[in-house]
Amino acid sequence: MQLQSGMRAVVLGLGTAGLATVDFLLHRNLRVAVSDLRHREQIDAKVLAYLEEMDVPLETGGHTAAFCADADLLVPGPGVPLDLPVLRAAREQGLPVVGELALAAGRFRAPVIAVTGSNGKTTVTSLIGTLLQAAGATPFIGGNIGTPLLEYFINPDQYDVVVLELSSFQLDLAGSFRPDTGVLLNISPDHLDRHGSLEAYTAAKLHMFSKQQAGDIAVLGDDDPVVAGIVPNSGVLSFRFGVGPLCTARIEGGSIQLHVQHQGQVRRERYDLRETKLHSLVNRLNAAAALLVAVLHGSSREAINRGLAAFTPPPHRMNEVAVIAGVRFINDSKATNVGALRAALSSCSAPVILIAGGRDKGGDYLLLRDVVAQRVKHLVLLGEAAPLMTAALGEIVPTQSVVSMDEAVRASMTVAEDGDIVLLAPGCASFDMFSGYMERGQAFCESVHRLQQDQMVEGEI
């Protein structure tokens, strides 16, 4: 988007991304104002001091039409609902409503690799960054993964590649953003409470490819029926990963077989994941996508092997917490939608006691019936969605509801046997009981460790 000195921009939402947006716009000599839902006393004092120092007006307690009245553009943060009255009014008046991606579009000085999907995007983004670093590159790694993408522009010359994790919220307002390499892992129902339908959610994800041009790259998950049907723009180079025989990166048991033809070179390589931390079914798919991107960007076999050996998946994603009396406790708190829950269960080869539930996101729990019937011996539910999940699954598996994570862990242990798995894979958001999936996962880990200590004490008596 064209930005001109003196334009007035109102940033809606003062989260981490919102602060980076303020800084980005100030450095381009725009007049910036900020509107936030929180009251002033809820905002960090250092943030308030920064805004006062930079002479940035701040509206708190809500977004009003009066505050936005003379703006030249509105910039909502990724988590701001797009159906707010001030945003609807702005669009009706023809006032630009843009996101951080639209602001960044056309301004990157290095090739951009963008990763999205319903599940696995943080792992894939992190792994791509690790593999490129092992090959000697200096990547900027950011976006939805934690570091706001606009922070790249603080010192862009120090990076030779940009690796971004992108959410559907960010892609909703992507403007003319175009990645040199776009990666779409999978699509399953998620954030339907915001998007309204699977079709709208899918359309948001596909914004990433809409502006790609001849010579750009699309890396697509071939095992997902929606992604498999995507036809990139004319001239865009398409590469696919999965279990199918025609995939460029093909999963074969515990290995990834690559057969890549790109820029006049042919590479046939096999990477064994069995001695890495990426050997689960879910992470084999994640690794296939990341390996394909690394090879397409010139990483050598030796560098890739170094990166694979060094990589540890982000926490709360199929991480083993403890083994108690032969029962494995696995934390997959990041499984916040039905697709992620399904993938987590599919990765388990032993009988599962499943801990699930939380705040409903509009997913269809009936889609879990087959995999629950195959893998789950007992279902422990907590949170607001417990009645919905009981209605969908209660007739096919023994089910009980609990009121706390500690009760969930202890109830699971009472029905578990040697060789079983107790899996936290909620399939829901966490905000009914926790501040986020990380706090929920930590609560699970702490409950498991308390149980482990109690078991040790009982063994000593």
pLDDT digits (tens, 9 = 90+) for 406-447: 999 999 999 999 999 999 999 999 999 999 999 999 999 999
Query: What residues contact residue 49 under an 8 Å CB cut-off, 6+ apart?
Result: none
User: Which numeric CATH code is attached to 319-460?
Assistant: 3.90.190.20
Q: What is the pLDDT of residue 21?
A: 97
212 and 166 Cβ atoms separated by less than 8 Å: no
pLDDT (0 to 100) of residue 456: 77
Domain locations along the chain: 8-98, 102-310, 319-460
Give the whole-angstrom CA distance, residue 197 versus residue 174: 19
On the question of pLDDT at 393 being above 80, the answer is yes
Q: What is the pTM of this model?
A: 0.85
| 180-217: pLDDT as tens digits | 999 999 987 655 555 567 788 888 889 999 999 999 99
Q: State residue 196's pLDDT score.
A: 63
Q: What is the pLDDT of residues 9-48, one digit of tens each?
A: 999 999 999 999 999 999 999 999 999 999 999 999 999 9
> What's the CATH superfamily of 8-98?
NAD(P)-binding Rossmann-like Domain (3.40.50.720)
Confidence of residue 461 (pLDDT cuts 50, 70, 90): very low
**Looking up tokens 């958001």, which residue turns up?**
429
Average pLDDT over residues 391-399: 96
Quick one: pLDDT at residue 198? 78
Per-residue model confidence (pLDDT) at position 293? 98
- CA angle in degrees (0–180, nearest 5) for 402-406-408: 40
Mean per-residue pLDDT of the chain: 93
Model confidence over 305-324: pLDDT tens digits? 999 999 998 888 888 899 99
Fold entry, domain 102-310: UDP-N-acetylmuramoyl-L-alanine:D-glutamate ligase (3.40.1190)
Under the banding of pLDDT at 50, 70 and 90, the label for residue 260 is very high
Q: Which residues of 54-75 are buried (b: 16+ CB within 10 A; e: fewer)?
A: eebebbbeebeeebbeebebbb
Residue predicted with more confidence, 79 or 171: 171
Percent of the chain with pLDDT over 70: 97
| Residue recorded with tokens 């602060």 | 19
Residues 6+ apart with CB under 8 A from 273: 254, 255, 256, 279, 283, 284, 287, 308
Q: Is 260 exposed, middle or buried (0-12, 13-18, 19+ CB in 10 A)?
A: middle
Q: What is the pLDDT of residues 53-96, one digit of tens each?
A: 999 999 999 999 999 999 999 999 988 888 899 999 999 999 99
What is the pLDDT, as a whole number, of residue 307? 97
Q: What is the Cα gyration radius of the chain?
A: 23
pLDDT of residue 315: 86
